Amino acid sequence: MKGICVTAFEVRELSYGGFGPVTFAMHEGEIVGLSGPSGCGKTRLLRALADMDPWDGHIALQGCAPAAIPASQWRQRVAYVPAESQWWFDEVGEHFPRTPEEADLHALGLDSEVLGWPVARLSSGEKQRLGLLRTLVNRPAVLLLDEPTAHLDAGHTQALEALVAGRCATGVMALWVAHDPAQLTRVASRGYRMAAGGVLSEVDTWM
């Protein structure tokens, strides 16, 4: 699919839980930034795009609507990564549908040994990095990242930005929610600002 310039992820007239309507699109390999005041509906938008909350309007990934495939498959393709990851088994590795690539673990400053750790041993920063990694093993086409570096120090923030950028270089799309204008300037090729009520406007500069 790469090379054919298509609007790979399209959202038209989307309303969700009293927010919207929202219209925007993403091309293959793009990282699109999204910022806005707390409570304006950013997380709710990501949840609706992953088909986790009821919504109305039009969503399509490469022309395919969510309803065309089972919801679980849609969520593997259009993956929502919540700001706070949840861990329900005892061991870290049990939460991974497949073993993550060694290179990806290293890229985020982790070792494959961490998969054998009890969850209780993880710091909030480790949880956040591992939360992204377990999503990546599903090979999603769209990443919906909700403040993905909220718990990370500067070094790990950079590492995570680089890892996502690397994925997007292979055609993956990312919608990146963040409050830090400097980060959005670094990672996003373009972006939107959301006002109260979920109204989107295109952003020229984050600063």
Partner 1 sequence: MDVIALSWSDILLAALPLTALAAIFAWQRLGVSRTLLIGAVRTFVQLALVGVVLKGVFQNARPLWTFCFSMVMLAAGTWEVTRRQHRRFVAGWTVGLAALGLFIAGFTATVFALVALVGVRPWWSPQYAIPLLGMILGNTMTGIALGMDTLTQNAWKQRAVIENRLALGQPASEAVADLRRESVRTAMTPIINSLAVCGVVSLPGMMTGQILSGSDPLAAVRYQMMIMYLIATGAGFGNLLTVQLCARRLFDNRERLRLDRLRS
The continuous run of DSSP H or E covering 168 comes out as: helix 154-168
Tell me if 82 contacts partner 1 by CB under 8 A.
yes
Contact 19, 45 (CB under 8 A): yes
The residue count for binding partner 1 (CB under 8 A) is: 25
- Which DSSP string do the residues of 88-106 spell out, in sequence order? -SSBGGGG-SSPPPHHHHH
Closer to partner 1 at the Cβ: 27 or 95? 95
Least spacing, CB of residue 76 vs partner 1, in Å = 3
If we measure between CA atoms, which residue out of 7, 67, 63 comes closest to residue 32? 7
**Minimum separation from the CB atom of position 177 to partner 1 (A):** 14
84-123 residues in contact with partner 1 (CB under 8 A) are: 84-86, 88, 97
Is residue 164 within the footprint of partner 1 (CB under 8 A)?
no
Q: Are 119 and 89 in contact (CB under 8 A)?
A: yes
Q: Is 70 in the site for partner 1 (CB under 8 A)?
A: yes
Alpha-carbon span 114 to 129, nearest angstrom:
12
Which span sits near partner 1 by CB under 8 A: 7-15, 45-53, 115-123, 169-177?
A: 45-53
User: Residue 67 or 162: which CB sits closer to partner 1?
Assistant: 67
Element (H, E) at 54: none
List 31, 32, 50, 92, residue binding partner 1 (CB under 8 A): 50
Contact residues for 119 (Cβ-Cβ < 8 A; gap 6+) = 87, 89, 90, 91, 92, 95
Residues 137-156 that bind partner 1 (CB under 8 A): 138
Torsions phi, psi for 66 (to 5 deg): -55, -40
Looking at 18-26, 68-76, 169-177, 178-186, which segment touches partner 1 (CB under 8 A)?
Answer: 68-76
Query: Counting contacts by CB under 8 A, is residue 10 touching partner 1?
Result: no
Give the whole-angstrom CA distance, residue 10 versus residue 154: 33
- The span from the CA of 178 to the CA of 151, in Å, is 12
- Contact between 170 and partner 1 by CB under 8 A: the answer reads no
Binding site for partner 1 (CB under 8 A): 50-54, 66-67, 70-73, 75-76, 79-82, 84-86, 88, 97, 134-135, 138
